[in-house]
Chains A and B, each alone.
Chain A
Amino acid sequence: MNSIATTPPSVSMPQARPHLGLRARLTRHPELFTLTLLLLTCIGVGLINPRFFQLATLFDLLHSATTTGLFACGVLVVLASGGIDVSFTAIAALVMYSVTKAVFAWWPEMPFALILALGALGGTLLGLLNGIAVHTLRAPSLIVTIGTQYLYRGVLLTFVGTTFFMNIPSSMDRFGRTPLLHYQTVDGLRAVLPVSVIALAAGAALTWWLLKRTMMGRGVYAMGGSLVIAERLGYQLRALHLFVFGYAGLLAGTAGILHVANNRLANPFDLVGTELDVIAAVILGGARITGGTGTVWGTLLGVMLVTLINQVLILVGVPSTLQKVIVGIFILIAGTLFAFTRPR
């Protein structure tokens, strides 16, 4: 016979510890799924075309992933905060074209570091504008950034220019040609890993550190978990909104400049329209569209997966139209899988 009074006080609550099955583990680490998909795709392609397995493929992959990867880190931060950003490509296009054009006109010898800083600054300012709008209007960020995407793009094409040019500042041109690593392939081709890959690594590391190690990063996840509760707990939503969109802008601006340097071409019609590819990559990397989750590792894996399908499959003879089908199927699989693992 036991009455409540005699129950020992140290008794812990029943079911205090959740059952850690595959589902729970997948909820905590959705990037494991991304990794599996990536490996399966690699194996699949490798079986069809053994030439896939060479260092040059990896070089190509990293080269193509640089811009997308930087964009994706920004999108990850925005998604983790519970928002969404579709204006980052417009920011990148406006910044890269204007900066390149202005620098070429006024100081063609400007050092590349300075150009990059200029791009980052421009991107940050435009991103902050998004942040201010989202915070003060209390409007859904999707609506706000659709608006600013049109705005930034319109400003670019109306006031800055509509023609692409290849006369880019000399330091940009040099940076774009500088290899980090290179070697002769068996076919006698020169495989090059451009130095801009370092920027991707740096951007990813910085994003990881900000999200994991700073109060700002924890605040981003808190806000993504619940805006109302985060505010109640004393998180400053204004600072968080400005940080989130400012940082996404910073990465977009930087990515834009690197994009011009890598391609040695400034095209005002470039980039805009690829938002969904980037968002798809981040989602495939395990970030929930509803906010509060997502890791840099997962995002990088997602970017690799999408880049692999978009850019590299063409090398093994998969028609480019079919690539869209594959990305679509992957997203559907990921979406249903993550939905099933979500606790009620």
Chain B
Amino acid sequence: MKPASHTQPFLQIVDVHKHFTGVYALRGVSLQFERGQIYHLLGENGCGKSTLIKIIAGAQPPDQGHLLIDGRHYDRLSALQALSAGIETVYQDLSLLPNMSVAENIGLTAELAAHHGRLARTFDRRGLAATAAIALREVGLPTDAAFQATLVEQLPLATRQLIAIARGIASEAKFVIMDEPTASLTQKEVDNLIRVLNGLRSRGVAVLFVSHKLDECYAIGGTVIILRDGQVISQGPIENYTKAQIGELMTGRELSQERYRNREPADDILLEVEALGRREQFQDVSFSLRRGEILGITGLLDSGRNELARALAGVAPADTGQVRLRDQAIRLRSPSDAILHRIGYVPEDRLNEGLFLDKPILDNVITAVIGRLRSRTGRLDRTLARRLAEQTVKDLQIATPNIDLPVQSLSGGNQQRVLIGRWLAIAPEILILHGPTVGVDVGSKDTIYRIMQRLSEQGIGILLISDDLPELLQNCDRILLMKKGRLADQFDARQITEPDLYHALLSEAA
């Protein structure tokens, strides 16, 4: 099916401004989006990306400027208007209703938009199933009634992501915005997603892709739009830019691609894991971690790497095997056991598992050591607590004017540093970093890597669980590869190249 007209772009944004309580988020942004094109919106956290997306999705009105959709003028959009106009936004949380079925999540939004949000009506159940089936086939998911009736909360993340895209297809979206869609997907799932996006493109749908993973942007191709401090700094075909150039444009400074790791770990063994296992999730995992070593662990999503990390943190304890810390067997049945043995765990999903978003930075930093901050009367020693939090903010270069601000006022990279800071407060011997730079921009990544190296110099053993291959190669001494719940291979990070590691990760033979 041919797009209606090539003469005018599908969406134009004209001189849009937006500010929040004195701080400018967007300063005069003008952009054009053509049908059948893929755009990559790049920029550091806090550059105005999310605000721009929200304005296009109709979640927030601009202060100044306007939008043209198919030539039609809008001073502001409502969520419903944006949907009716064919703009579908897949937020990081995917905007799926967990308690409703696959078919309902895909089809009801289209129904709603088609009838301008009118609720006092019955809906066409058979039509719903048919719409859902077409959209599901399009993204390569099963179309049978049993799958359609499955509740979304019972499905894994990658499948949910595809369902969110299927919803866009069902709504006959002409413009799909994807906010960090690949942040928690494995390589294989990302490849599948890219295929689906290319399918959309060939149907004349415009896609706006927001991601921190530049490799994927290059793999997809299209136009890059680089945002900095609320302004469009540069735009053009992605092949005209090198990675380093993009990084510089985003941050306004030069970034190195070199290995951060430049020292050797000590000889003494800190942690020994022997034949560790948990249910069907992982079995017979043995390795050792030396003092000051950075040990990478990688694998696909179903490899058991996540479960291993959670077991070592005492979150989801192992049921077989043994863990020895400095030759002493230790029990890790709960997170407090781990804290007792000075094992810090920075979870992958910092929003749900790590941070108290609406609580001050101060409270978030001190929560793991609150017992130690007791004054003689048994009450919290406020002065000591503030001193600790302020020191953490300074050490980890957390960009905030005030430790009493809620954590949600910080950008992703800074939030991550608060979480790391919390564990530094327990003076850890071992730090388990689980995807420490997921959803973090280039500039913040750099800072986090430097912090990691500094910590290892202090003798802390670091387990870095990640699927970001350059991250592992730049930072680790050794990299362990997990497959189907078992350790499959081990590499020296100085010697293996990224393509080799990538190939080892994907090859089916365990």
Q: In the complex, are the beta carbons of B158 and A13 less than 8 A apart?
A: yes
Q: In the complex, are the beta carbons of B162 and A18 less than 8 A apart?
A: no
Judge if B4 is at the interface, Cβ distance under 8 Å: no
Quote the shortest CB–CB distance from B111 to chain A (angstroms).
7
Within 8 A of A (CB), among B150-175: 150-151, 153-156, 158-159, 162
Q: In the complex, are the beta carbons of B99 and A225 less than 8 A apart?
A: yes
Q: A231-B79, A243-B119 given as contacts; is B112 within 8 A of A293 (CB)?
A: no
Quote the shortest CB–CB distance from A18 to chain B (angstroms).
4
Q: A12-B141, A13-B189 given as contacts; is B119 within 8 A of A235 (CB)?
A: yes
CA distance A138 to B217 in the complex (A): 41
Q: A234-B79, A235-B117 given as contacts; is B142 within 8 A of A12 (CB)?
A: yes
Judge if A137 is at the interface, Cβ distance under 8 Å: no
On chain A, the residues within 8 Å of B80 by CB distance are 234
Q: A10-B140, A13-B141, A218-B108 given as contacts; is B155 within 8 A of A236 (CB)?
A: no
Judge if A189 is at the interface, Cβ distance under 8 Å: no
Q: In the complex, are the beta carbons of B97 and A230 less than 8 A apart?
A: yes
Q: A222-B97, A225-B99 given as contacts; is B120 within 8 A of A17 (CB)?
A: no
Q: In the complex, are the beta carbons of B112 and A215 less than 8 A apart?
A: yes
Name which residue of chain B comes closest to A229, CB basis: B95
Judge if A263 is at the interface, Cβ distance under 8 Å: no
Quote the shortest CB–CB distance from A112 to chain B (angstroms).
28
Total contacts A to B, CB within 8 angstroms?
127
Mask, B181-207, CB within 8 Å of A = 1, is: 000000111011001000000000000
CA distance A292 to B79 in the complex (A): 22
Q: A13-B141, A215-B121, A231-B79 given as contacts; is B192 within 8 A of A224 (CB)?
A: no
On chain B, the residues within 8 Å of A215 by CB distance are 108, 111-112, 115, 118-123
On chain A, the residues within 8 Å of B302 by CB distance are 14-15
On chain B, the residues within 8 Å of A239 by CB distance are 119
Within 8 A of B (CB), among A1-19: 1-4, 7, 9-18
Within 8 A of A (CB), among B77-95: 79-80, 83, 89, 91, 93, 95
Judge if B104 is at the interface, Cβ distance under 8 Å: yes
Judge if A272 is at the interface, Cβ distance under 8 Å: no
Judge if B31 is at the interface, Cβ distance under 8 Å: no
Quote the shortest CB–CB distance from B426 to chain A (angstroms).
26
Judge if B113 is at the interface, Cβ distance under 8 Å: yes
Q: In the complex, are the beta carbons of B99 and A17 less than 8 A apart?
A: no
Q: In the complex, are the beta carbons of B97 and A213 less than 8 A apart?
A: no
Quote the shortest CB–CB distance from A269 to chain B (angstroms).
38
Q: In the complex, are the beta carbons of A18 and B112 less than 8 A apart?
A: no
Name which residue of chain A comes closest to B116, CB basis: A234
**Considering residues A17, A231, A233, A235, which has the most beta carbons from chain B within 10 angstroms of its beta carbon?**
A233
Q: A12-B142, A13-B192, A222-B97 given as contacts; is B150 within 8 A of A18 (CB)?
A: yes
Judge if A221 is at the interface, Cβ distance under 8 Å: yes
Name which residue of chain B comes closest to A18, CB basis: B154
Q: In the complex, are the beta carbons of B119 and A232 less than 8 A apart?
A: no
Judge if B109 is at the interface, Cβ distance under 8 Å: yes
On chain B, the residues within 8 Å of A13 by CB distance are 140-141, 156, 158-159, 162, 189, 192
Quote the shortest CB–CB distance from B153 to chain A (angstroms).
5
On chain B, the residues within 8 Å of A267 by CB distance are none
CA distance A239 to B117 in the complex (A): 10
Q: A10-B140, A343-B154 given as contacts; is B112 within 8 A of A234 (CB)?
A: yes
Judge if B98 is at the interface, Cβ distance under 8 Å: yes
Judge if B507 is at the interface, Cβ distance under 8 Å: yes
Within 8 A of B (CB), among A230-270: 230-236, 239-240, 243
Judge if B96 is at the interface, Cβ distance under 8 Å: yes
Q: In the complex, are the beta carbons of A17 and B119 less than 8 A apart?
A: no
Q: A12-B140, A18-B150 given as contacts; is B99 within 8 A of A214 (CB)?
A: no
Q: In the complex, are the beta carbons of B113 and A234 less than 8 A apart?
A: yes
Quote the shortest CB–CB distance from A36 to chain B (angstroms).
22
Judge if B508 is at the interface, Cβ distance under 8 Å: yes
Name which residue of chain B comes closest to A223, CB basis: B97
Query: Can you list 19 pairs linking A and B with CB atoms under 8 Å apart?
Result: A9-B140, A10-B140, A16-B142, A213-B123, A215-B118, A218-B100, A218-B104, A221-B97, A225-B98, A229-B95, A232-B59, A232-B95, A233-B95, A233-B97, A234-B79, A236-B117, A239-B119, A292-B98, A343-B153
- 6 tightest A-B CB contacts, nearest first: A292-B99, A225-B97, A234-B80, A225-B99, A18-B154, A216-B119
Q: Which residues of B contact A (CB under 8 A)?
A: 57, 59, 79-80, 83, 89, 91, 93, 95-100, 104, 108-109, 111-113, 115, 117-123, 125, 140-142, 147, 150-151, 153-156, 158-159, 162, 187-189, 191-192, 195, 302, 503, 506-508
Q: Which residues of A contact B (CB under 8 A)?
A: 1-4, 7, 9-18, 24, 27-28, 213-216, 218-219, 221-222, 224-226, 229-236, 239-240, 243, 291-293, 343
Additional pairs, 5, CB under 8 Å, beyond known A9-B140, A16-B147? A2-B508, A213-B123, A232-B57, A234-B113, A235-B117
